[in-house]
Amino acid sequence: MTQSAGYWTVEALEDFEDVVDDKRIAVKMGEQRIVPPGLVFKERTLPPVVKEHTYELQMEKKLKRMVAREEESESKEKQTR
């Protein structure tokens, strides 16, 4: 893909079907086309995974620590009996 005068020259890396003006066009590997920049997808990827809110993560860690402390104190009580 190269850019000149505001347009992109795109070379197909594999055969595929393109849709231009509601018409399907077969594009062969190695074929080059001049395309306006608004129509080019550089890379199609999934959006990043939504992270949990920071507060929720902090509270989850705090809860785990509290449970661990409680279990530890219960085990000490059983040992002293």
Average pLDDT of span 24-29: 87
Same domain? For 11 and 32 the reply is yes
Q: Is residue 32 one of the residues assigned to a domain? A: yes
pLDDT of residue 32: 86
Q: Please give the mean pLDDT across all residues of the chain.
A: 81
Average pLDDT of the residues in 1-5 = 59
How many folded domains does the chain comprise? 2
Within 8 A by CB and 6+ apart from 61, the residues are none
Q: How far apart are CA 10 and CA 38, in angstroms?
A: 13
**DSSP secondary structure letters along 3-68:** EETTEEEEE-SS-EEEEETTEEEEE-TT-EEEE-GGG--S---PPPPPPPPHHHHHHHHHHHHHHH
What pLDDT, on a 0 to 100 scale, did the predictor assign at position 5? 66
The verdict on 33 and 56 lying in the same domain is: no
Alpha helices in the chain (DSSP H): 54-80
Confidence label for 42 from pLDDT (cuts 50, 70 and 90): low
Tell me, yes or no, if the pTM score tops 0.85.
Answer: no
Residue 78 structural domain: 50-81
